[in-house]
Amino acid sequence: MQLPHPVTTQFFSVQDVATAIHQLGLPTVFQRLADTIRADYQRWNDFEKCARVANHSKDGVIELMPISDGKTYSFKFVNGHPKNTQIGLPCVMAFGVLADVATGIPEFLSELTLSTALRTAAMSLVAAKALARPGSKVMALIGNGAQSEFQALAFHYLMGIEELRLFDTDPRATDKLLANLAHTPLRLTVCKSVREAVRGADIVTTVTADKTNATVLSPDMLERGMHINGVGGDCPGKTELHPDVLRASAVFVEYEPQTRIEGDLQHLPADFAVTELWQVLTGQAKGRVDAQQITLFDSVGFALQDYSVLRLMRELAKELGLGQPVSLIPELVNPKDLFMLLQPELQPVAEATGRGKAKMAA
């Protein structure tokens, strides 16, 4: 009797991600992740893309984000529930899968709550490297919640940011951020208003969470040469920027059809010109044209950066020997005989391969 075709799904947990970061260091992980994202964006046309499939409810959204390059398929499950923190839950929770396009096997199942925070910051970094003024030293960080440390450290380690100007409507969020960054040489200034935080900043990162059309940033706060890294406006009815902020800027996006629906761009007419970032990264479009221009990355989070982070996590799992198998898909002695799984007398055959039993332990 032939052995079943192996159908191994590797599970990569939050603990595995944390262990990989402890072993390699956060700067290295950010660097490799940014490199992976940049490389994947540079082969943009290899990917079959679609806007994410969103299920909106009163207090939040649940989304599925699939993408494929014809060899590897990935998708992410992710929610966005701004009020979750009131009951002790993260606003954003996620997991995702890499599958083999040739066979459909879901090969790699990973946590993506922590990894989404990593990839969002790495994506912001890739955009800022292409769009912000070289030599940027000061970043305003508006919104000091779960994503803020990741933005702060990615820009500190790899963009040369030396000073952060902080603002949040919740002072405890800022206190938490201060404590978490105390081990770094970053100069941290707590500000009383967005206006105060933004003044003199080279880069302005907005990463607030309210599901509302907020005006965190208004056009009178803008200064020449600024780069705006707009991260929090990422859902219909959840925006951060006054429309005139976009009008005053050269606007760059991940995937135009999705950003028109979800980004701060949703408040602008359909013919308002934007540039997809991949065009800048491949040299097909200009990024920043001079030191006076205001550039804006209207980030909403696109499936491609989840593909990239899943790809990197699988690479790290292999490299560092992390993760473990789970029995998501049954192994069959005869693939046309699914019914065999219900026949107890046949089960010792599956166990005899040495795979069936171990994997059931997951």
* Interaction of residue 13 with its own copies, rule CB under 8 A: yes
Q: Phi and psi at residue 250, in whole multiples of 5°?
A: -85, 120
Residue selected from 8, 31, 32, 85 as contacting its own copies according to rule CB under 8 A: 85
Examine residue 325 and tell whether it contacts its own copies (CB under 8 A): no
Q: Decide: is 22 part of the binding site for its own copies (CB under 8 A).
A: yes
Asked if residue 82 binds its own copies (CB under 8 A), the reply is: no
Residue 62, interface with its own copies (CB under 8 A)? yes
Whole-number Å distance between alpha carbons of 81 and 92: 7
DSSP 335: T
The amino acid at 110: S
d(CA 304, CA 40): 7
Binding mask 162-201 for its own copies (x = CB under 8 A): --------x-xx--x---x---------------------
31 is an interface residue for its own copies by CB under 8 A: no
Pairing of strands 324-326, 9-12: antiparallel
Asked if 234 is an active-site residue, the reply is yes
* DSSP strand pairing (239-241 vs 250-253): unpaired
Number of residues that bind its own copies (CB under 8 A): 83
The number of CA neighbours under 13 Å toward the Cβ of 321 is 0
Binding status of residue 12 toward its own copies by CB under 8 A = no
Q: How many residues does the chain have?
A: 362
Phi, psi of 28 (to 5 degrees): -65, -40
* Residues 90-109 contacting its own copies, CB under 8 A: 90-91, 93, 95, 97, 99, 101-106
The region of 225-233, 255-263, 281-289, 341-349 touching its own copies under the rule CB under 8 A is: 341-349
Catalytic choice (16, 202, 234, 306): 234
Does 261 contact its own copies by CB under 8 A? Answer: no
Q: Is there binding between residue 343 and its own copies (CB under 8 A)?
A: yes
- When the beta carbons of 175 and 223 are compared against its own copies, the nearer one is 175
Q: What pairs with residue 336 in β-bridges?
A: none
What is the distance between the alpha carbons of residues 256 and 279, in angstroms, rounded to a whole number? 12
d(CA 34, CA 237): 29
Does residue 87 belong to the site contacting its own copies (CB under 8 A)? Answer: yes
Catalytic residue positions, numbered? 234
